[in-house]
Amino acid sequence: MKPPPPSLNSLPLFLFLLLSAVISAATTTTNATSKLPPTPSPTTETPSSSSSSSSTLDPKQIEALESLNIPTARDPCIQPSPHNATVCDSSKPFRHLVSLHLSNCSADLSLSFTALKSLSSVHSLSFTNCHTSPIRFPYDLSLSLTSFTCIRSLRRLTGVWLSRFVNLTDLTVSFTPVNTSGLYVILGNMHKLKTVTISHANLTGSLPRHLHLNLTHVDLSDNKLKGNIPTSLTLLEDLEYLNLSSNGLNGEIPTEFGDLISLKNLSLASNSFSGSIPDSISAIPGLVHVDLSNNQLNGTVPRFFSQLKGLKVLNLENNELHGVLPFNASFIKKLAVFKVGGNSNLCYNHSVLSSKMKLGIARCDKHGLPMSPPPSKESSGDSDSSDYEDDSADDTIAVQLCVLDTSFVVLTQKKTTPRGCMAPRAVIHGQSPEASARTISILKMVKPIRISQHDFSSGFLGYELGHFMTITAYSEILGNPYCFSRW
């Protein structure tokens, strides 16, 4: 027999009990939830930049560094060793080297092809004082490199070996001999190259007829290059630095040099360049450094140098320049370095420039010719670069004499023969014209005479000096109270 259905009177009681059970369960859930820790914010979960930079270097590259005797106990990407700089990218899960600088390497270091193959991510590779032998680089690494530096490193370097780095934008080889038949072997396929320094590398041959137009820096100093400067060099409109000093280059400086409108530093020193300084250089407004010293340049000194507002260094010493120096004192004083010594036929206007400026050249006479012998090239080359050469000490030749016969002295036009105790010291200075009408220094005719402790009262030497003094522009005899009289 079925139980009777619940009556309508018991329904409210049932609903009340059901509602109480639901409220109790909700309260229990709330209390349990309140005991849990708060949910982390998105900022807390995001890794910081420091955690990214602490990523581990690729294990294969760690092995490669160890084979190159580079310590890897500390992460090379965070704490590189003092002598071996490393730069890494930020890739994950492992970081990779993009720059590696090896310096002061141990004597037993040898390059491994396997190790270099693991370093194909490197874009900049530098060796300094690493006297190891170069090996063939893996193809991937050769293409990856955009910068390569070799200073006093890698014995038996060849031009063909260097030429494989076809994607270089920067190439530096210094104090490392390079065996090559010519520069073009090295540079011919480096179409992206912007800066090149190959100095003290024993390079031979001539300058390439064609260089890539995007070059901004060219330093080929201290080599054995010969021949002329090709006119095509002047097509490098972006070139800012050109150093061809200390080679065997000759010929004239191209008149098209003014086309190098971006040039700031120009050094052609210590070659055998001849001819005059091109006026077209005046069209290069940004020149700061000009060194044309130790050549065979002739002609006059161009006035346009004084119009180059940014010029700080002008070195024209030890050439064959002549005429009157066209600069005033304010221009010379603003320069950090100014050298014109060793140009025997160059002189300065004493009404414009003072001898206290130590220019290293003689003052001009009324004809624009040097009045007195300038310093020799050898002496001027030893001068301090911050000084202007002093010509006052070289205006005279000290001669030790007891008797000086100055017969037929041109200055007085008198046939007198002064005798007596003139001095054991006399000073003679002047110029001697040659048949070619050029004016040469007395120092080139007569070396300093030191003949003390002799008696020349016979007049023999007096005749020689008297004849010599008849062709001097000026002579002076200094008295000496210690000289004893013989008359």
| pLDDT per residue as tens digits for the range 104-133 | 888 778 888 988 999 999 999 999 999 888
Q: What is the pLDDT at residue 383?
A: 41
Q: Quickly count helices (H) and strands (E) in the chain.
A: 11, 26
- 161 closest CA partner among 79, 145, 169: 145
The answer to whether residues 343 and 415 belong to one domain is: no
Contacts of 233 (CB under 8 A, 6+ apart): 207, 211, 254
CATH of the domain at 187: 3.80.10.10
Secondary structure (3-state) at 173: strand
Q: What is the pLDDT of residue 169?
A: 97
Average pLDDT over residues 79-103: 81
Higher pLDDT, 205 or 392: 205
Single residue among 394, 422, 444 that ends a domain in this structure = 394
Tell me the mean pLDDT in the region 93-101. Answer: 90
Percent residues over pLDDT 70 in the chain? 64
Note whether residue 461 is domain-resident: yes
Taking the C-alpha atoms of residue 144 and residue 119, their distance in angstroms, rounded to an integer, is 10
**Same-domain check for residues 386 and 428:** no
Give how many domains the chain has, as a whole number: 2
Average pLDDT of the segment spanning 380-409: 39
Please provide the average confidence, as pLDDT, over all residues in the chain.
74
Tokens 């007195």 -> residue: 372
pLDDT-derived band at 22 (thresholds 50, 70, 90) equals: low
Res. 457: pLDDT tops 90: no
355 CB-near residues (< 8 Å, 6+ apart): 363, 390, 391, 392
Confidence at 294, pLDDT banded by 50, 70, 90 = very high
Contact in structure between 232 and 254 (CB atoms under 8 Å): no
Q: Are residues 92 and 158 in the same domain?
A: yes
Across 384-403, b (16+ Cβ under 10 Å) vs e yields eeeebbbbeebbbbebebbb
Is the same domain home to 340 and 446? no
Q: In this structure, are 245 and 184 located in the same domain?
A: yes
Residue 273: predicted pLDDT? 97
Do 386 and 344 have their domain in common?
A: yes
Separation of alpha carbons 137 and 162, rounded Å: 10
Residues 152-165: b if buried by 16+ CB within 10 A, e if exposed:
ebbeebebebbbeb
Q: Phi and psi dihedrals of 274, rounded to 5?
A: -125, -175
pLDDT at 378: 52
Confidence (pLDDT) at 90: 84
Whether residues 68 and 198 fall in one domain: yes
382, 397 Cβ separation under 8 angstroms: no
Residues 294, 422 within the same domain? no
Tally Cβ neighbours within 10 Å of residue 265: 18
Q: Where a domain ends, among 326, 360, 394?
A: 394
Element spanning 348, H or E: strand 345-348
Please report the pLDDT score of residue 134 as a whole number. 84
Is residue 275 in some structural domain?
Answer: yes
Cα separation of 457 and 401, whole Å? 10
Mean pLDDT of 89-99: 88
Is residue 477 within 8 A of residue 404, CB to CB? The reply is yes
Mean per-residue pLDDT for 442-462? 36
- State what percent of residues in the chain have pLDDT above 90: 45
The more confidently predicted of residues 194 and 65 is: 194
Distance CA 315, CA 343 (A): 12
Q: What pLDDT, on a 0 to 100 scale, did the predictor assign at position 220?
A: 97
pLDDT of residue 155: 85
Q: Which of 343, 360, 394 is the last residue of a domain?
A: 394
The answer as to whether 196 is a domain residue is yes
- Do 403 and 295 share a domain, yes or no? no
User: 126-140, 174-188, 215-229, 250-264: which has the minimum mean pLDDT?
Assistant: 126-140
State whether 409 and 373 are in the same domain.
no
- CA distance linking residue 75 with residue 87, whole number of Å: 11
- Report, as an integer, the average pLDDT of 334-363: 88
- Quick one: average pLDDT of 357-369? 85
Structure tokens belonging to residue 294: 């130790």
What's the average model confidence in pLDDT over 203-218?
A: 94
- The yes-or-no verdict on residue 418 having pLDDT over 60 is no
pLDDT mean over 200-216: 94
On whether residue 34 sits in a domain, the answer given is no
Check residue 393 and give its pLDDT. 38
Minimum mean pLDDT range among 2-6, 260-264, 300-304, 433-437 = 433-437
Could you tell me if residue 286 is inside a domain? yes
Residue 45's pLDDT is what? 33
CB 361 within 8 Å of CB 386? no
Residue with tokens 């084979």: 67
Is the CB of residue 188 less than 8 Å from the CB of residue 212?
no
Q: Judge if 458 and 364 occupy the same domain.
A: no
Which domain, by its residues, includes 353?
A: 55-394
What is the pLDDT, as a whole number, of residue 207?
95
The answer on pLDDT for 188 being more than 90 is: yes
Residue 465 resides in a domain: yes
Residue 42 has pLDDT above 80, yes or no: no
Are residues 330 and 298 located together in one domain of the fold?
A: yes
* Candidate from 93-97, 170-174, 224-228, 301-305 with smallest mean pLDDT: 93-97
- Least confident stretch, 199-213, 224-238, 371-385, 395-409: 395-409
Give one DSSP letter per residue of 423-460, joined into a string: -S-EEEE-EEE-TTS-EEEGGGTSPPP---S---TTSH
What pLDDT is stored for residue 93 in this prediction? 86
Query: If we measure between CA atoms, which residue out of 443, 438, 401 comes closest to residue 423?
Result: 401
**Better pLDDT: 369 or 8:** 369
Indicate the SS3 state at residue 25.
helix
CA 413 to chain CA centroid, nearest Å: 57
State both tokens at 396: 């005279």
Give a three-class secondary structure readout of 289-327.
Answer: EEECCCCEEEECCCHHHHHCCCCCEEECCCCEEEEECCC
Q: Is the pLDDT of residue 401 over 80?
A: no
- In this prediction, residues 383-394 reach a mean pLDDT of 39
Rounded Cα distance, 153 and 219, in Å: 18
pLDDT over threshold 60, residue 283: yes
- At 452, is the pLDDT very low, low, confident or very high (cuts 50, 70, 90)? very low
Residue 354 lies in a domain: yes
Flag whether 16 is in a domain. no
DSSP string, 196-265: EEEESS---S---S---TT--EEE--SS--EEPPPGGGGG-TT--EEE--SSEEEEEPPGGGGG-TT--E
The DSSP element (H or E) to which 183 belongs, if any, is helix 183-187
